[in-house]
Amino acid sequence: MIRCVVSKVRGQASVSIPTIIDVEASGFGSLSYPIEVGVINPSGIRFCRLIKPQSDWIHWDSEAESLHGISRQLLAEKGCSAQQVCQQLNQFLMGQIVYSDGWVVDDTWLIKLFYAAKVTMQFHVSSLEMILSETQMSLWHSTKDGLFQQMQEQRHRASSDAALIQNTFVTTQQICINNAKQLKAF
Per-residue confidence in pLDDT tens, the chain, 186 aa: 233 334 333 445 677 899 999 999 999 989 999 999 999 999 999 999 999 999 999 999 999 999 899 999 999 999 999 999 999 999 999 999 999 999 999 999 999 999 999 999 999 999 999 999 999 999 999 999 999 988 876 667 899 999 999 999 999 999 998 887 776 665
Cα separation, 59 vs 64, in Å, equals 11
Q: Is 47 helix (H, G, I), strand (E, B) or coil?
A: strand
Report domain extents, the chain: 8-185
CATH of 8-185, one of 3.30.420.10, 3.30.160.270, 3.30.930.10, 3.30.70.2190: 3.30.420.10
Q: Report CA-CA distances (Å) from 169 to 4, 12, 23, 56, 141.
A: 10, 19, 18, 37, 11
